[in-house]
Chain A
Amino acid sequence: MRSTRPWEHPILVIGAMLIGISAVAYAMGMPMNRITQIAIYTLYGGGVNFLIGYLGLVPFGASFFFGCASYAVAIGAGYYSSGNEIQLVMLALVFSALLALVVGAVILRRRGLYFSLLTLACSQIAFEIAFKWTDVTGGENGLQNVPRPLFSSALAFHVFTVVVVLAILWGLWRLAHAPFGRVMQALRDNEQRVTSLGYNTYLVKLIALVVAGAVIGVAGGLMSLLLQGAYANNLSWQHAGDAVLMTALGGVHHFLGPLWGAITFIVLEDRLSAFTENWWLFFAPIIILFALLSPEGMQGIVQRLLRRDRWTLTRAGIPVRPQQIVPYQSSSTANADSSPILSIKGLSKRFGSIVTQHNISLDVQRNQLHSFIGPNGAGKTTFFNLLTGLLEADEGQIVFDGQDIGKLPAYRRARLGVARSFQILSVFPNLTAFENVRIAVQGASGQWGGFWRDAHDNAADNARVWSLLDAVGLADRAGELCISLAHGEKRLLEIAVSLGTDAKLLLLDEPLAGLAETDRQVVSALIQRLAKSHAVLLIEHDIDRVLALSDRITVLHQGRLIADGKPNDVARDPQVISAYLGKGTESGHGLPAGVIPFNSAFRAEAASVPKVPLLQLETVSAGYGGGTVLQGIDLMVNAGEVVALLGRNGVGKTTALRTMMGALHASSGRILFDGVDVSALSPDRINRLGVSIVPEGRRLFPNLTLLENLRLATRPGGAALDEIFELFPKLSRLTHSRAENLSGGERQMVAIARALMAPSRLILLDEPFEGLAPAVVQEVREAVAKLTTRASLVIVEHHAEAVLAMADRAYVLVNGKVAFCGSAASLAGDHALQERLLGIVNVEAAGRPVLERVS
């Protein structure tokens, strides 16, 4: 760790600034009180920012601690008349710490906005008490005559204050680098992740609030000593936000932020109030401008000018990389213990009428790669949530390494050795890669570790972190901030973080999601290595990889366990095949006679028009949060066509539809509708051009009635209500039911009807048959068939059978690329191809390459 140069150490900077300003004021004969006030407000802001910048909580009513402490000092001085300044400051500290403990224990159960509002309520209750309880608090006039025996002159008290402020801020600076402070910062970035690493986050927040409360209280006490009295106006609503505004102005992500904020605040108040009482007239616009233009505050501007645009809450830099990095070795070595590491019996969970887990029982062996697969909605992530403790099961038993963990909270299960990575990337964005892993290692080696020594001084932990980073190939990127890493690197980092907890059981939830092919190979190889020394449970949709790598596969479908065993056996299991391809589980594939639209006038007319494609995607790539889901796809829909878009889960079908609809912007490529480039248009404009969507999950507005849902979408040129009720007679009886009370099938029909209420030339349907009972599927299929006479369709499905009979052409996506593009009939006839692209077939056994373009 490079040593900090003197002008970079924030305490020295604060000291130098305060002394400098004091000297200037002294020389110019200005009252020293103002500078003392700057020092006090710097401390006030420092305490507030301890919560905002380091913990991510905004105590909007922090004046509560400030004001109460000032009254405590004033009242205390009244009772204990021989008290001196040092004793009174101690009183303020202890009083505020206790107050924060009591209040925090109660309000920390709430987060975010509710926490802020509760602190505001506290400050207003305190204001009312201070203002009205005249006997004790002096009411409107406040209290006077707080003694200052030791430091009676302004200069003496000023020196005392500066010393106290610097000492406490130095304590905060050390705390920020200590293990406790580091956990706080990780918590700010991602509380759920910190819990999954074994930390008791409620306790962390409570201790942080006590510290912050104590610091703010000392500032309040100093204030009452400065004024030699205590007054209620600091608690009023207008002043409640002072400290937060001040700190934000200076920069909440910088240790020095409160200093700049305090100086600006006090100096401007002083200067401006000399010629107007209305000084907020000038100050408020400054705050607003800063908040919008430079969210990182004044310090942020300076950082940008110095080209060192980073947060300065802690020292920059990471521990020095060792000459020789010790290769990673899991401390849970491959042992001969043949007992299962995890034993699940009769696990069940339901959400209302939806059963996500039905009586699941299985044993997980040690040191194996055990994969979980299943069609969409099979309940795999919910299953992981039940195992890790984020959800509680309704029935069943979970025994981990001989211990029943079913009732333990999440952080306790993590401490026992259950580690997990998340489907949606879950790391600490504002910490370095090194720090990300180090937090996990710290969690494994000893939760608190301390409040004083720098966490980076722990050589043993550091060595482990380097080993882990090296194991995932990120040793060279250790010093980079997590947000600067590529998506693939972040996935690798996440795995390193999960390993850092020294877990015996690793639950990896779609670790390959959003990764390009080369990254998938790297991550897969890592997972394979890990399986030799850990029990690894894997959820993945990249079926080819899963089949190639796993020692054992379990298949979940509609909450039930339908197959479990070696990859080859599972791949051939008829139940599994039908679950994926949909054969035989639904009644009546193919359309009832007479509804086949091929002869309709609409389609015949469209077919005779020269073929400018209605919709065209040209090498479109798109993804979420930095990852890529679609990798340069070409897709075309002609007027009057029905196009099926098929593929297993996670390949990018919904992403493709969202990109077509404009809800997601393509990162590269072009989208043309009727020859016009619509790539940059917002969804409402694209809808008005004639593209409607029937989204996954229907997305009706639950608080509106059926009729209102339809009316909302109505535009001139769309279908009339009579037509709709002719197409969907069942709906005419439900017009005044709220959408949330409709059944799944009814909702699907309303969603389809809604797409017709506006003039649509292209309708996108995302999994229209999902989650519906077989009888209802038939009804919906007829409804969709009726659509084919009115508009061109793109239908996304993962059950090919259901859709190919009514489609003209089909595309099949595999891992974000187009693997098949051709006539629906040819795909429908080629069962082997269907199985290869949509089902689960062991590719290597079949002896053919995966991605083969067939046209």
Chain B
Amino acid sequence: MLGTLISQTANGLVLGFVYVLIAVGLSITFGLLGIVNFAHGAFFALGAYAAYQLVQMFGWPAVIFAPLLVGAVGMVVEVLLIRRLYGKEPLLSLIVTFALSLLIEALIRFFWGADGKPFNAPPLFSGVVEIGPLLITNYRVAVLVATSVSLLALWGFLSYTPYGRILRAGSRDPEMVEMLGINLQRVQTAVFGLGCALAALAGMLAAPLWAVSPSMAANAIMPAFVVVAIGGLGSFGGAVVAGLAVGVVMSLTIQFKPDAAAASMYAFMFLVMLLRPRGLFGERWERFE
């Protein structure tokens, strides 16, 4: 019993870290661009499929390019589509990004078919690890390490690089950033690309854990919203705390009462949004209230 509990909690942390990675991309996009990107889950799915394709064509090492490719696609999408949404009413970005997500899902279906693709963990990480009562697959450990490293790198990027400074400043006062001589348009394109790359990275890492199918987008976007809503829109720390909490809660519920798992996640979000609508760590965003 204890072994199951501990192992499942560990699995929950892994799941949680993946959620955090997805949610952080959404949060960054929202923070600087003020857009809630409903297509974020679709980029997650795109990451998984890109990884699948690259492995098929070039073998395992090529998988690193998946997030980069999807990030590039994201930047193109920003230039063509997303930048027309800035400053307009929220309904417009809701409609466009929602339709975009359905479009990307349809494109995935078109190129790769509607059936799921088999995607097993790389042979390097097969097998399990046993530490006392804890039983966990090697791949999950690898995912844990990979996401933690990515999140740390992202945090470092935001805190210590000039670019990260611009991002942090821009999420508070984009006009002032412009008056200091920084071309905001280019920053916006890059940020959107970054958000998509993060989603794709999460998709690539999650691919062996979940089924790779066109509908995996929905399984990513809704938890992402839940995490961001609970943690607070625009808050990095909030996304981390909320993501881990949601991951663990989900995993434990799945173990003991599987049918209620997803519903419990939404109920949690509902509760938080009613009591603290800006989330646990969120700030005031007048344009959305």
Instruction: Verify B175–A663 contact, CB threshold 8 A.
Output: yes
Closest residue of chain A to B283 (Cβ to Cβ) is A703
On whether the beta carbons of B288 and A245 are closer than 8 Å, the reply is no
For the complex, is A484 an interface residue (Cβ under 8 Å from B)?
no
Q: Contacts A110-B273, A245-B98; is A121 near B266 (CB within 8 Å)?
A: yes
Q: Tell which of B95, B162, B178 touches A244, judged by Cβ atoms closer than 8 Å.
A: B95
Annotate A102-113 by CB proximity to B: 1 below 8 A, 0 otherwise: 000011011111
Residues of chain A touching chain B, judged by Cβ–Cβ distance below 8 Å, are: 52, 58, 60, 106-107, 109-114, 116-118, 120-122, 124-125, 128-129, 132-133, 236-238, 241, 244-245, 248, 252, 277-281, 283-285, 287-288, 291-292, 295, 661, 663, 682-684, 687-688, 692-693, 695, 699, 701-704, 708, 711-713, 715, 754, 758
What sequence of 0s and 1s flags, for each residue 254-289 of chain B, a beta carbon within 8 Å of any chain A beta carbon?
000001101100110110011001000000000111
Please pick, from A124, A280, A281, A287, the residue contacting B266 in the complex, using a CB distance under 8 A. Answer: A124
Contacts of A280 in B (CB 8 A): 102-103, 105-106
Quick check: is B250 within 8 A (CB to CB) of the other chain? no
Query: Which of A129, A241, A244 has most B Cβ within 10 Å?
Result: A241
Collect the chain A residues with CB atoms within 8 Å of residue B103's CB.
280-281, 284-285, 288
Q: Are A277 and B172 in contact (CB under 8 A)?
A: no
Knowing A280-B106, A704-B165, A708-B165 touch, does A288 contact B263 (C-beta < 8 A)? no
Stretch of B43-51, B52-60, B107-115, B237-245 contacting A (4+ beta carbons < 8 Å): B107-115
B230 shortest CB reach to chain A, Å: 11
Q: Determine the distance from Cα of A59 to Cα of B165 in the docked complex, in whole angstroms.
A: 36
Say yes or no: A118 contacts B270, CB within 8 Å. yes
- Bound Cα distance A712, B173 (Å): 13
> Contact between B98 and A711 (Cβ–Cβ < 8 Å)?
no
| Residues from chain A with Cβ under 8 Å of B98 in the complex | 241, 244-245
Q: How far is the CB of A756 from chain B (nearest CB, A)?
A: 12
Contact of B181 among A58, A687, A695 (CB under 8 A): A687
Complex contact B94–A60 (CB within 8 A): yes
Q: Are A284 and B162 in contact (CB under 8 A)?
A: no
Q: Is B146 an interface residue (CB 8 A)?
A: no
**B95 touching A699 by the CB < 8 A rule?**
no
Given A116-B94, A701-B176, A713-B180, A245:B165 Cβ within 8 A:
no
Instruction: Say whether A288 contacts B99, CB under 8 Å.
Output: yes
Known: A109-B274, A124-B266, A284-B99. 15 other contacts (CB 8 A): A60-B94, A112-B287, A113-B36, A128-B260, A132-B260, A132-B263, A277-B109, A278-B110, A285-B103, A663-B179, A684-B184, A701-B172, A712-B162, A712-B169, A712-B182
Selected contact of B110 from candidates A120, A281, A292, CB within 8 Å: A281
Contacts A124-B222, A125-B263 hold; do A58 and B99 have CB atoms under 8 A apart? Answer: no
CB neighbours (8 Å) of A132 from chain B are 259-260, 263
Q: Given that A107-B274, A114-B288 are contacting pairs, would A124 and B262 also be in contact in the complex, using a CB cutoff of 8 Å?
A: yes
How many residues of chain B have a CB within 8 Å of chain A? 57
The answer to whether residues A712 and B277 also contact, given A132-B259, A280-B106 and a CB cut-off of 8 A, is no
Contact between B277 and A244 (Cβ–Cβ < 8 Å)?
no
B70 CB to nearest chain A CB (Å): 19
Choose from B168, B183, B289 the contact partner of A114 (Cβ within 8 Å). Answer: B289
Contacts of B177 in A (CB 8 A): 712
| B172, B181, B270: most-surrounded residue (chain A CB, <10 A) | B181
Q: Does B90 contact A (CB under 8 A)?
A: yes
CB-nearest residue of chain A to B258: A132
**Which of B106, B260, B269 is A278 in contact with, Cβ under 8 Å?**
B106
Known contacts A278-B110, A713-B180, A106 near B94 by CB under 8 Å: no
Q: Specify which of B94, B100, B266 is in contact with A284 (CB 8 Å cutoff).
A: B100
**A701 in contact with B168 (CB, 8 Å):** yes
Could you tell me the dominant secondary structure of chain A's interface residues? helix
Interface string of B161-198 (1 = CB under 8 A from A): 01001101100110111111111100000000000000
Residue of B nearest to A134 (CB): B259
Q: How far is the CB of B145 from chain A (nearest CB, A)?
A: 30
Q: Is the CB of A684 within 8 A of B183?
A: yes
Q: Cβ of B270 and Cβ of A683 under 8 Å apart?
A: no
How far does the alpha carbon of A772 sit from the alpha carbon of B165 in the complex, in Å? 28
Q: Is the interface of B mostly helix, strand, loop or mixed?
A: helix
Q: Closest CB-CB distance, A258 to chain B, in whole Å?
A: 15
Q: How far is the CA of A678 from the CA of B163 in the complex (A)?
A: 27
Indicate whether B1 reaches chain A with its CB closer than 8 angstroms.
no
Tell me if A113 and B288 are in contact (CB < 8 A).
yes
In whole angstroms, what is the CA distance A132 to B36 when docked?
Answer: 29
How far does the alpha carbon of A281 sit from the alpha carbon of B178 in the complex, in Å?
A: 38
Q: B109 to chain A: which residues have CB within 8 Å?
A: 277-278, 281
**Counting CB contacts under 8 A, is B218 at the interface?**
yes
- The 7 A-B pairs of least Cβ separation, nearest first, read A284-B103, A687-B181, A128-B263, A281-B106, A132-B259, A113-B288, A701-B169
Question: Would B169 and A683 count as touching, CB distance under 8 A?
Answer: no
Question: Quick one: given A106-B274, A120-B225, A295-B92, are A238 and B218 in contact (CB under 8 Å)?
Answer: yes
**Nearest CB of chain B from residue A527's CB, rounded to whole Å:** 31
Checking A109, A237, A284, A663 against B222 with a beta-carbon cut-off of 8 angstroms, the contacting residue is A237
Q: Which B residues are in CB contact (< 8 Å) with A252? A: 91
Query: Are B270's CB and A110's CB within 8 A?
Result: no
Residues of chain A within 8 A (CB-CB) of B182 are 684, 712
- From A112, A285, A663, A711, B289 is in contact (CB under 8 Å) with A112
Residues of B near A281 (CB, < 8 A) are 103, 106-107, 109-110
- Of residues 183 through 225 on chain B, the ones whose CB sits less than 8 Å from some CB of chain A are 183-184, 218, 221-222, 225
A112 and B288 contact, CB distance less than 8 A: yes
CB atoms of B176 and A695 under 8 A apart: yes
Is B222 a contact partner of A248 (Cβ separation < 8 A)? no
**In the complex, residue of chain B having the shortest beta-carbon distance to the beta carbon of A279:** B106
In angstroms, Cα B176 to Cα A754, docked, is: 12
Query: Are A244 and B94 within 8 A (Cβ)?
Result: yes
**Complex alpha-carbon distance, A107 and B275, angstroms:** 11
Contacts of B99 in A (CB 8 A): 245, 284-285, 287-288, 291
Residues of B within 8 A of A712 (CB): 162, 165-166, 169, 177, 180, 182
Asked if B96 is at the interface of the complex by the 8 Å CB criterion, the answer is: yes
Q: Are B267 and A125 in contact (CB under 8 A)?
A: yes
Q: Across the interface, which residues of A come within 8 angstroms of B107, CB to CB? A: 281
Q: Is the CB of B269 within 8 A of A121?
A: yes
Tell me the B73-124 residues at the A interface (CB within 8 Å): 81, 84, 90-92, 94-96, 98-100, 102-103, 105-107, 109-110, 114
Contact of A133 among B226, B259, B274, B287 (CB under 8 A): B259
* Residue from the set A107, A122, A125 with the largest chain B CB neighbour count within 10 Å: A125
Residues of A within 8 A of B105 (CB): 238, 280
Q: With A278-B110, A280-B102 in contact, is A125–B266 under 8 Å at CB?
A: yes
The 16 listed contacts between A and B (C-beta, < 8 Å) are A58-B90, A110-B273, A121-B266, A122-B270, A124-B266, A132-B259, A238-B218, A279-B106, A280-B103, A283-B102, A284-B102, A288-B100, A699-B176, A712-B177, A713-B181, A715-B181
B229 in the interface, Cβ–Cβ < 8 Å?
yes
B-chain residues with CB within 8 Å of residue A236 when the two chains form the complex: 218
User: Do A684 and B181 touch (CB < 8 A)?
Assistant: yes
CA separation between A11 and B110, bound complex, in Å?
A: 41
Instruction: Output the nearest chain A residue to B270 by Cβ-Cβ distance.
Output: A121
Q: Would you call B179 and A683 a contact (CB within 8 A)? A: yes
CB distance from A671 to the nearest CB of B (A): 15
Q: Which of A117, A118, A241, A711 contacts B165 (CB 8 A)?
A: A711
When distances are taken between beta carbons in the complex, the residues of chain B under 8 Å from A693 are 179
Note all chain B residues with C-beta closer than 8 A to A122.
270
In the assembled complex, the CB of A757 is this many whole angstroms from the nearest CB of chain B, namely 9
Bound complex: CA A133 to CA B100 (Å): 32
Give Cα distance in the complex from A128 to B218, angstroms: 13
A683 adjacent to B178 (CB under 8 Å): yes
Q: B90 contacts which chain A residues (CB < 8 A)?
A: 58, 112-113, 116
Cβ contact within 8 Å between B263 and A129: yes
Contact of B277 among A114, A241, A248, A295 (CB under 8 A): A114
Q: In the bound complex, do residue A284 and residue B106 qualify as a contact, i.e. CB atoms below 8 Å apart?
A: yes
Interface string of B16-58 (1 = CB under 8 A from A): 0000000000000000000010000000000000000000000
